[in-house]
C-alpha cells in the first residue's frame, strides 16, 4: 500500500498516508465504573439504627454489586476472545483499537502495517491493520460505503495488476461510531483472494482492517474471517 496509491483515490478525498511507513508486524468496550459516593466518601460513617439509612457495610456491598454488574454487562475484547472458541484478542490502547484473530496465526512484521497476523501454512489467510493521519472526523465524510470501499479496494488493498471486484459494502454503527464493512475479491494470475475489510475514522486516524483467504478455502474460512471483522472496534485511549 504505497502512499501514491492513496493519493490516486483523491477523488474521494481519502486520507493520505504519512510519508514514513511503520514496520511491525460485533464489539465490546471497557467500562470505567465510578464507585458510589457512599462507598468512596472520606468522611467517617456514623452509627445507624434499623430505622435509619443503610449501614456503611451495606453501602459498600451495594456499590460493589453495581460495579460488578456493569463489568459483566459489557465484556472487554479479551473476554470476547475467550468466549469465542479458537480466537485470541489484541488490545492496543496506544493506537486505540482492538480485534481478535484465529488461534495459531503468527504475528509477522510487514512494512507499512501496524500489525499483521497470518497462517504460516496458508499465507493468504491473514489479518492486517493500518492507520494513516486524517483531518476528517467521520468515515461518512468520505462518501457512501460502496464508493469509498470501491476506491480503497482498487487503489490500496490490491496491487494494480490484480482484477478486483467489490461484492458488498455496508455501514454499521457501534457505540455511536460509524464503520464501513465490505467484501471483495482480488484476482492474480495464479490465485484469487477473497477478503473482508472494515474502516473507520477516530483519534485523527483512518483505520483499515483487512482479512482474507484463498478463494478455494473461502467456504471453510468465511465464518472466522467475519468474526475478525465483527470484532474490530475503536478503544478509548488511556
DSSP for 161-224 reads TSEEEEEEEEEEEETTEEEEEEEEEEE-SS-EEEEEEEEEEETTEEEEEEEEEEGGGHHHHHHH
Contacts of 175 (CB under 8 A, 6+ apart): 27, 29, 233
Indicate whether 212 and 99 sit together in one domain.
yes
Backbone angles phi, psi at 18, to 5 degrees: -65, 155
Residue 84 lies in a domain: yes
Above pLDDT 90, what percent of the chain?
A: 62
Indicate whether 130 and 206 sit together in one domain.
yes
* pLDDT at site 176: 93
What is the count of structural domains for the chain?
2
Indicate whether 127 and 59 sit together in one domain.
no
pTM reported for the whole predicted model: 0.69
Indicate whether 149 and 66 sit together in one domain.
no
Residue 159 lies in a domain: yes
Residue 184 lies in a domain: yes
Task: Give the confidence band of 20 by pLDDT, cuts at 50, 70, 90.
Answer: very low
Decide: 222 and 167 in contact? Cβ < 8 Å.
no
Indicate whether 130 and 19 sit together in one domain.
yes
Indicate whether 169 and 141 sit together in one domain.
yes
Query: Is the predicted pLDDT of residue 42 greater than 70, yes or no?
Result: no
Indicate whether 69 and 184 sit together in one domain.
no
Indicate whether 10 and 68 sit together in one domain.
no
Closest CA to 114 of 127, 105, 101, 103: 127
Between 46 and 124, the more confident residue is: 124
* The total number of residues written for the chain in this structure: 238
Residue 143 lies in a domain: yes
Indicate whether 124 and 151 sit together in one domain.
yes
156: number of Cβ within 10 Å:
20
Indicate whether 58 and 121 sit together in one domain.
no
Query: Is the predicted pLDDT of residue 221 greater than 80, yes or no?
Result: yes
Task: Give the confidence band of 85 by pLDDT, cuts at 50, 70, 90.
Answer: confident
Indicate whether 104 and 120 sit together in one domain.
yes
* pLDDT at site 235: 87
* pLDDT at site 15: 52
Question: Containing domain of residue 136, as a range?
Answer: 3-27+77-234
Task: Report the CATH number that the domain containing residue 81 is assigned in CATH.
Answer: 3.40.1000.10
Residue 47 lies in a domain: no
Residue 15 to residue 136: CA distance in whole angstroms: 8
Query: Is the predicted pLDDT of residue 62 greater than 50, yes or no?
Result: no
Indicate whether 58 and 86 sit together in one domain.
no
Amino acid at each position: 500500500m504505497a502512499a501514491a496509491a492513496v493519493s490516486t483515490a483523491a477523488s474521494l478525498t481519502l486520507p493520505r498516508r504519512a510519508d514514513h511507513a511503520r514496520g511491525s508486524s460485533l464489539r465490546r468496550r471497557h467500562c470505567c465504573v465510578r464507585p458510589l459516593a457512599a462507598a468512596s466518601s472520606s468522611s467517617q460513617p456514623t452509627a445507624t439504627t434499623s430505622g435509619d439509612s443503610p449501614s456503611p457495610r451495606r453501602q459498600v456491598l451495594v456499590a460493589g454489586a453495581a460495579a460488578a454488574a456493569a463489568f459483566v454487562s459489557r465484556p472487554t475484547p479479551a473476554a470476547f476472545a475467550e468466549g469465542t472458541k479458537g480466537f485470541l484478542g489484541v488490545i492496543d490502547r496506544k493506537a486505540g483499537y482492538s480485534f481478535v484473530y484465529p488461534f495459531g496465526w503468527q504475528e509477522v512484521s510487514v512494512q507499512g502495517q501496524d500489525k499483521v497476523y497470518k497462517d504460516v501454512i496458508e499465507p493468504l489467510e491473514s489479518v492486517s491493520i493500518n492507520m494513516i493521519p486524517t483531518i476528517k472526523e467521520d468515515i461518512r465524510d468520505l462518501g457512501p460505503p460502496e464508493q469509498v470501499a470501491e476506491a480503497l479496494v482498487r487503489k490500496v488493498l490490491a496491487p494494480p495488476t490484480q482484477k478486483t471486484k467489490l461484492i458488498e459494502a455496508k455501514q454499521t454503527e457501534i457505540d455511536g461510531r460509524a464503520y464501513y464493512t465490505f467484501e471483495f475479491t482480488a484476482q492474480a494470475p495464479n490465485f484469487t483472494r477473497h477478503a473482508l475489510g472494515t474502516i473507520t475514522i477516530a483519534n485523527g486516524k483512518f483505520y483499515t482492517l483487512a482479512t482474507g483467504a484463498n478463494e478455494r478455502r473461502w467456504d471453510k474460512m468465511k465464518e472466522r474471517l467475519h468474526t475478525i471483522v465483527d470484532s474490530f472496534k475503536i478503544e478509548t485511549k488511556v
